[in-house]
Amino acid sequence: MKKLTVKITVSALAFIVLVVVALVFYVKVMLPNVGQAPDMKVELTPERIERGEYLANHVMSCIDCHSRRDFSVFAAPMVPGTKGQGGEVFDQVMGFPGRFVSPNITPSKLSTWTDGEIFRAITSGVSKDGRALFPLMPHPHYGEVDVEDIKSVIAYLRSLAPIENTPEASSPDFPMNIIINTIPKKANPSKKPDESDQINYGKYLVNAAACMDCHTRQEKGKFVGDPFGGGMEFGFPDGSVLRSANITPTESGIGYWTEKDFIDRFRTFSDSAFERIKVAPGEFQTLMPWTFYAGMKTEDLKAIFAYLQTLKPSENEIVLFTPAEE
C-alpha cells in the first residue's frame, strides 16, 4: 500500500512538472501573439509631423525616455543633441524587474522598420523581431490611442535627425523574462474625443500620457495602490527614494488646487521660465518629465485637470522623497 502511495505521489509530481514545463515552453516560444504587423504607409505630411511632434514630446513623452536626461539638473531636462538616440537605463535600483534600456528610435535605427512594425511596437508591445517589450513603454495605454495620433507619432519619428547609437539590449530578471511574453495584447484603439467634450478628452490625454502607471503604487509590476493615489517608488543609486504624488481630488492630493494652480505648475518648467537648478546626489530630484510636459497646450492641461477632478478620491498621504541614510 505504501509503495502504491509513493508511486502515485511521484506520478502526480511528474505530471505537475510536465505541465509547468509545457506551460513555460508555450509562453517562451508561442507568445507574444498579437498578429502580424499591419500593412500601412504613413504619409509624412507637415500636419502629421507637427501633431506627432506635439504628442511625442509633450503628451506621450516618447522623447523623454528615448533621449539622455541630465540628472545633475532638477527635472532632468534632455541633453541637447540626444533626441531619440536611446540609452536611458531603468533598472533594479529604480525598482524595475530587470535592466531595461530605451532603444534608438531615430531613422538610423527605424529605417529598416516598416510603418506597420513601428505601429505594432507602439500599440501592442512587440518588436520588429517578435520580442515582447516591457511596458515601461506603456503600450497597453498606447494601444487605446486613436490610430491617427499613432500615425502622426510615426511620421514625426521618421523626421528626426538620424543618430548612430546602439544601446545595450534590455534584460528582464527571472521570472519577468517569462512573464513579459504574456503582456503584449492586440491594440484596441479609440477615437479621439472632440475637445469640446472636456472630461472625456482629458481622459483620453491622461491615458495617452499613461499618468496612472507612475501615479499608482506598484509592486513587482502589479498595481497594488489606489488608482492615481501615488506612492510608486523609484530608487536612486545613492539609496534615496522618490515617490509619485497623489493626483486625486482630495486633501492628500490636488483637492485644493485650482485650474490655474495646475496649469502654472506645468508652465514653471517651460523653456523661457525654467531655472536650471543644479541637484547634487542625495538631494530632492524628480523623474516627472516636467520640461517636456511644460509644452502642453493650455486647453489640454485644462481638460486633464477637469478629468482628474472626476477621479475617486484617495486619502493616501505621500512622502515624496526620502534621502539616503547617512
Query: What is the rounded distance in angstroms from the CA atom of residue 157 to the CA atom of residue 194?
Result: 25
The widest CA-to-CA distance across the chain, in whole angstroms, is 84
Q: What is the mean pLDDT of residues 248-253?
A: 96
CA-wise closest residue to 309 among 198, 226, 180: 198
Type and span of the H or E element at 321:
strand 321-322
In contact, 160 and 106? CB cutoff 8 Å: yes
pLDDT tens figures, 196-235: 999 999 999 999 999 999 999 988 778 888 999 999 999 8
C-alpha cell at 143: 494601444
pLDDT over 70 (residue 326) = no
Q: Which amino acid is at 120?
A: R
pLDDT tens figures, 181-197: 999 999 999 999 999 99
Helix (H/G/I), strand (E/B), else coil: 78? strand
Residue-averaged pLDDT of the chain: 91
Report pLDDT for 4. 62
The more confident residue out of 324 and 322 is: 322
Query: What is the rounded distance in angstroms from the CA atom of residue 60 to the CA atom of residue 101?
Result: 18
In contact, 159 and 49? CB cutoff 8 Å: yes
Neighbouring residues of 284: CB distance < 8 A, sequence distance ≥ 6: 320, 321
pLDDT tens figures, 104-151: 999 999 999 999 999 999 999 999 999 999 999 999 999 999 999 999
Angle 228-230-234 from CA coordinates, rounded to 5°: 130
Bond prior to 289 in cis (omega within 30° of 0): no
Report pLDDT for 26. 57
pLDDT over 90 (residue 270) = no
Kindly report the pTM of this predicted structure.
Answer: 0.91
pLDDT tens figures, 35-54: 999 999 999 999 999 999 99
